[in-house]
């Protein structure tokens, strides 16, 4: 099918854009639009033009299939297409439905008139890819909605409904807002407008408008972006300010220069990598478009602790009925009151309307009997991390669940196959490893067991998507992807203490590099007792890879972390303070090891921690536990506070290059005491 079809309604030429899925402005489409505009200009019987993209999307912007390819910027590029629209001597109307984002909105802004469906999504999200809108968006958008609104939306890449912008006083963005959706209502309104204004001159061009400076909005936007460790938000603010302080052509030139500068920035490369990682993660070998999948229409969650509650909330918020099973009366009462508080807080914080909260709340029921889950399509077990207990729960779930139901576990460390094998349906068993808080965190590791069927996997992936999660498929290895890597990372952090660092030195170094939270603050928040129990269990099972005497001693003192008022730090509420008791503990430990402290610089700390993640990631790839390096990056960015603008641990390893990484591995192996083997190359 052609990318651009034309039709006529009297003197109005209609240009129908069709480049699924979202009318990305590819080279071929830009060329076709350019020709069509030339043709309209030359045709004496065409008096006006309407561009529209159908009900789903006016245009989502650049065609992501061309990202990084020469066609993306080849002529006619988007700025030239917008300039061509400016030069038209006949009016051009944009008919916007679905969405107009990024370059798609810039194209609409260069048209003379815009008719929009009230619920259409509007925005310039380029900043999320480390860029700024480079086809006039920073100049025309403020001229349409005022500086304050442009400065609120562009530097944050926020999307809003058209009706919100249409309600702004004195806005010039939309000429007509159509309430009804579908049935060609927007197109009909656009054609009617085109017929009405076809003889009207001069043509209204946003470039000819002026926009007033707004000292307060500018100061606020500068304050919000100046301290950020990545350049795009500030570049957006500066470009948008140009709309008020510079003539249009100069503003466009400044925008272009800003865009070029960002295009080659490492942060933009990292952000684009994560953007593609998110798209790649959904492609799983064995799961094809025609793989049958069961639609999950009701969920049962077993265990109403921290995770069970969070998982149930994630389901209810997505509109799925969910039953939560908790046999312990006290735990059940606690869960009910915590869930109540959650809904109240959501309404108080303005995240949900009272109505929506009420609807979601009614989707949730709490019960004491597992037997009540007999009709659920998916059962998720979230009881204590104990193999015998989980196996007992799986036997029971298998006995009561309908034959086609899927059975899942939220285990963080246990062998999924050992759970599957106690059931009569191992092909319908898999891991759904949520991250805490489960109603908030976007990441869901979907663990494929030895017997998990493609249908079960496909259904679980569709379920994840339904509740708004980004799924990454992992093999059944201890700790799957995320926790297996984090184990090595925490181990390295402990080695750094052995060698002479303090917890705060380690945390500060990696936080200054960009991680949201250093390793010691992170485990203090998660609770040191959790990993302590895992170590004890592993020791019992003969599976403990390496003893961690210092971390054990910390727990023996009851220093479980933030919740206990002390861990690797002393806590006053959430504020971490260096702890004298911990300093003494570390000193005694070093003395016992007979190891003198050496000075370890911030650079070595950062390199050790990042390489620990990256090297274990390489092992996971070699073992087939992770499907691709970008999946690993996604796990770290979405699940562990790894900065999106740094791309992830595997991206970082690749950025440094093989030679540099090999040199560091050699250097670390040489200073390592008993972990030299870890730094050895992967074969």
Q: Which is nearer to ligand NAI, 479 or 614 (CB)?
A: 479
CB of 417 to ligand NAI, least distance (A): 16
Q: Between the CA of residue 379 and those of 184, 348, 368, 372, what are the distances in Å?
A: 43, 31, 15, 11
Residues between 139 and 168 with contacts to ligand NAI, criterion CB under 6 A: none
Minimal distance in Å, beta carbon 388 to ligand NAI? 11
Q: List CB contacts of 183: < 8 A, sequence separation 6 or more.
A: none
Q: Which is nearer to ligand NAI, 204 or 327 (CB)?
A: 327
Exactly one of 126, 218, 255, 652 is catalytic; which is it? 126
Residue from 148, 203, 331, 374 touching ligand NAI (CB under 6 A): that is 331
Residue 458, both tokens? 């496909």
Shortest distance, position 399 Cβ to ligand NAI, whole Å: 14
**d(Cα 376, Cα 304) in Å, to the nearest integer?**
17
Find the shortest distance in angstroms from Cβ 435 to ligand NAI: 6
Which one from 106, 255, 381, 499 is the annotated catalytic residue? 106
At closest approach, how far in Å is the CB of 513 from ligand NAI? Answer: 24
Q: Are 589 and 553 in contact (CB under 8 A)?
A: yes
**In the complex with ligand NAI, which residue's Cβ is closer, 152 or 533?**
533
Which residues between 432 and 461 bind ligand NAI (CB under 6 A)?
434, 436
Q: Is 476 in the site for ligand NAI (CB under 6 A)?
A: no
Work out which of 17, 47, 294, 304 binds ligand NAI, going by CB under 6 A: 304
**Distance from C-alpha of 92 to C-alpha of 40, rounded to nearest angstrom:** 10
Cβ closest to ligand NAI, residue 125 vs residue 449: 449
Nearer to ligand NAI, 327 or 514 (CB): 327
| Cα 501 → chain centroid | 33
Quote the CA–CA distance of 207 and 85 in Å, as a whole number.
Answer: 11
Choose the stretch contacting ligand NAI; rule: CB under 6 A; options: 111-119, 321-329, 576-584, 598-606: 321-329
CB of 419 vs ligand NAI, minimal distance in Å? 11
Q: Residue 533 Cβ, how far from ligand NAI at the closest point, in Å?
A: 10
Q: Which stretch binds ligand NAI (CB under 6 A): 45-53, 296-304, 613-621, 644-652?
A: 296-304
Write out the H or E segment, with its range, that includes residue 378: strand 378-381
Q: For ligand NAI, which residue of 326, 398, 524, 604 counts as binding (CB under 6 A)?
A: 326
- Of 133 and 308, nearer to ligand NAI (C-beta) is 308
* Minimum CB–partner distance for residue 176 and ligand NAI (Å): 50
Residue 307 engages ligand NAI in binding (rule: CB under 6 A): yes
Distance CA 200, CA 548 (A): 79
Give the shortest CB-507-to-ligand NAI separation in angstroms.
20
Q: Is the dihedral of CA 659, 664, 666, 669 positive or negative?
A: negative
Task: Please give the residues from 647 up to 676 whose contact with ligand NAI meets the rule CB under 6 A.
Answer: none
Closest to ligand NAI by CB, 97 vs 326, is 326
β-pairing verdict for 121-123 and 99-101: parallel
Sheet holding 429-434: strands in order across?
A: 364-367, 322-325, 299-302, 378-381, 406-409, 429-434, 443-448, 470-475
Q: Which pair of structure tokens corresponds to residue 480?
A: 């799957």
Q: Give the nearer residue to ligand NAI in terms of CB position, either 386 or 552.
A: 386
> Which residue among 38, 260, 288, 328 contacts ligand NAI (CB under 6 A)?
328
What element of type H or E holds 622? Answer: helix 602-622
C-alpha 44/C-alpha 57 separation (Å) is 30
Decide if residue 274 touches ligand NAI (CB under 6 A): no
Select the span of 111-119, 312-320, 322-330, 349-357 touching ligand NAI (CB under 6 A): 322-330
Nearer to ligand NAI, 502 or 562 (CB): 562
Pick the stretch among 91-99, 299-307, 637-645, 662-670 that binds ligand NAI (CB under 6 A): 299-307
Binding-residue pattern over the window 334 to 353 for ligand NAI, x denoting contact by CB under 6 A: --------------------
Residue from 291, 306, 421, 466 in contact with ligand NAI (CB under 6 A): 306
Q: Which is nearer to ligand NAI, 369 or 673 (CB)?
A: 369
First to last CA, the chain: 48
Find where tokens 């969910």 sit.
Answer: 322
Residue among 156 and 483 whose Cβ is closer to ligand NAI: 483
214-273 residues in contact with ligand NAI (CB under 6 A) are none
Q: Which is nearer to ligand NAI, 320 or 443 (CB)?
A: 443
C-alpha to C-alpha distance for 172 and 209, rounded to whole angstroms: 9
Alpha-carbon dihedral sign for residues 584, 585, 591, 596: negative
In the block, tokens 């592993």 appear at 538
Residue at shortest CB range from ligand NAI: 305
Length of the chain: 683
Q: What is the Cα–Cα distance from 593 to 64, expressed in whole angstroms?
A: 55
- Complex with ligand NAI: residue 475 or 514, whichever CB lies closer: 475
CB 24 within 8 A of CB 62: yes
Peptide bond into 445 cis (omega under 30): no
Q: Torsion over CA of 51, 53, 58 and 62, rounded to 10 degrees?
A: -100
Site track 378-417 with ligand NAI (rule: CB under 6 A), x = hit: ----xxxx---x---x----------------xxx-----
In sequence order, what are the residues at sequence separation of 6 or more whose Cβ sits closer than 8 angstroms to the Cβ of residue 579?
A: 566, 568, 569, 570
- Give the Cα separation of 415 and 449 in Å (integer): 9
Structure tokens at 173: 């963005």
Q: How far is the CB of 338 from ligand NAI (least distance, A)?
A: 11
Known catalytic residue at 288? no
In the complex, the smallest distance separating the C-beta of residue 302 from ligand NAI, rounded to whole angstroms, is 5
Q: Residue 75 CB, nearest distance to ligand NAI (Å)?
A: 51
Which of residues 120, 150, 217, 302 is near ligand NAI by CB under 6 A?
A: 302
Asked whether position 364 contacts ligand NAI by CB under 6 A, the answer is: no
Q: How far is the CB of 499 from ligand NAI (least distance, A)?
A: 29
State whether residue 567 is helix, strand or coil.
coil
SS3 of the chain: helix, strand, coil, percent, to 5: 55, 15, 35
The rounded distance, in Å, linking the Cα atoms of 456 and 514 is 38
- The footprint of ligand NAI on this chain (CB under 6 A) covers a number of residues equal to 23
The answer to whether 255 is a known catalytic residue is no
- Give me the half-sphere count of Cα atoms (radius 13 Å) on the Cβ side of residue 481: 40
Q: What b-and-e string marks burial along 203-233, b requiring 16 or more CB atoms within 10 Å of the CB?
A: bebbbeeebeebeebbeebbebbeeeebbbb
| Residues whose CB is less than 8 angstroms from the CB of residue 353 and which lie 6 or more positions away in sequence, other chains included | 347
Cis before 202? omega within 30: yes
Cα 49–Cα 50–Cα 56 angle in degrees, nearest 5: 160
Task: List interacting residues with ligand NAI (CB under 6 A).
Answer: 302-308, 325-328, 331, 382-385, 389, 393, 410-412, 434, 436
Q: Which active-site residues does the annotation give?
A: 106, 126
């Amino acid at each position: 099918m052609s990318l651009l079809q034309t039709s006529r309604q009297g003197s109005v030429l209609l240009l129908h854009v069709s480049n699924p899925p979202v009318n990305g402005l590819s080279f071929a489409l830009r060329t076709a639009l350019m020709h069509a505009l030339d043709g309209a200009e030359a045709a004496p019987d065409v008096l006006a033009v309407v561009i529209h993209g159908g009900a789903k999307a006016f245009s989502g912007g650049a065609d992501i299939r061309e990202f990084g390819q020469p066609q993306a910027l080849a002529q006619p590029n988007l700025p030239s297409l917008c300039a061509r629209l400016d030069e038209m001597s006949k009016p051009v109307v944009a008919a916007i439905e679905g969405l107009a984002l990024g370059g798609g909105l810039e194209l609409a802004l260069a048209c003379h008139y815009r008719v929009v469906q009230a619920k259409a999504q509007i925005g310039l999200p380029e900043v999320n890819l480390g860029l700024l809108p480079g086809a006039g968006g920073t100049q025309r958008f403020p001229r349409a909605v005022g500086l304050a609104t442009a400065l609120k939306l562009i530097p944050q890449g926020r999307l809003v409904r058209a009706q919100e912008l249409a309600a702004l006083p004195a806005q010039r963005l939309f000429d007509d807002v159509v309430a009804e959706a579908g049935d060609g209502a927007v197109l009909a309104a656009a054609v009617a407008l085109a017929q009405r204004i076809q003889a009207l001159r001069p043509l209204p061009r946003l470039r000819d408008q002026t926009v007033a400076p707004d000292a307060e909005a500018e100061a606020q936007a500068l304050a919000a972006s100046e301290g950020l460790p990545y350049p795009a938000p500030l570049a957006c603010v500066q470009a948008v300010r140009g709309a008020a302080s510079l003539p249009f052509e100069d503003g466009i030139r400044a925008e272009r220069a800003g865009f070029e500068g960002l295009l080659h920035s490492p942060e933009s490369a990292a952000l684009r990598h994560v953007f593609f990682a998110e798209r790649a993660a959904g492609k799983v070998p064995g799961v094809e478009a025609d793989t049958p999948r069961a639609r999950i229409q009701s969920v049962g969650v077993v265990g109403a602790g921290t995770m069970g509650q969070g998982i149930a909330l994630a389901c209810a918020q997505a509109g799925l009925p969910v039953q939560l099973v908790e046999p312990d009366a006290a735990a059940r009462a606690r869960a009910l009151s915590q869930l109540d508080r959650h809904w109240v807080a959501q309404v108080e914080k303005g995240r949900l309307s009272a109505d929506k909260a009420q609807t979601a709340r009614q989707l949730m029921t709490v019960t004491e009997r597992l037997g009540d889950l007999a009709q659920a399509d998916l059962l998720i077990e979230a009881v204590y991390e104990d193999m015998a207990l989980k196996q007992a729960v799986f036997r029971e779930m298998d006995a009561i669940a309908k034959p086609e139901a899927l059975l899942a576990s939220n285990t963080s460390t246990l062998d999924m196959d050992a759970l599957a094998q106690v059931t009569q349906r191992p092909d319908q068993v898999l891991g759904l490893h949520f991250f805490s808080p489960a109603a908030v965190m976007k990441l869901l590791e979907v663990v494929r067991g030895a017997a998990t069927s493609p249908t079960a996997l496909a259904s679980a992936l569709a379920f994840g998507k339904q509740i708004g999660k980004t799924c990454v498929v992992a093999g059944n290895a201890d700790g799957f992807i995320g926790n297996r890597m984090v184990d090595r990372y925490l181990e390295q952090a402990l080695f750094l203490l052995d060698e002479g660092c303090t917890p705060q030195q380690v945390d500060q170094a990696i936080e200054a590099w960009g991680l949201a939270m250093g390793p010691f603050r992170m485990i203090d928040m998660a609770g040191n007792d959790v990993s302590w129990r895992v170590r004890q269990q592993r020791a019992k099972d003969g599976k403990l890879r390496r003893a961690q005497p210092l971390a054990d001693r910390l727990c023996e003192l009851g220093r479980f972390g933030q919740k206990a008022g002390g861990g690797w730090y002393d806590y006053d509420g959430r504020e971490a303070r260096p702890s004298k008791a911990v300093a003494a503990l570390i000193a005694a430990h070093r003395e016992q090891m007979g190891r003198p402290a050496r000075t370890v610089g911030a650079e070595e700390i950062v390199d050790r921690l990042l390489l620990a993640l990256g090297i274990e990631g390489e092992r996971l790839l070699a073992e087939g536990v992770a499907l691709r390096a970008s999946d690993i990056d996604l796990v770290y960015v979405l699940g562990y506070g790894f900065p999106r603008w740094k791309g992830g641990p595997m991206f970082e390893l690749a950025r440094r290059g093989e030679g540099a990484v090999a040199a560091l591995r050699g250097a670390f192996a040489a200073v390592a005491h008993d972990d030299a083997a870890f730094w050895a190359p992967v074969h």
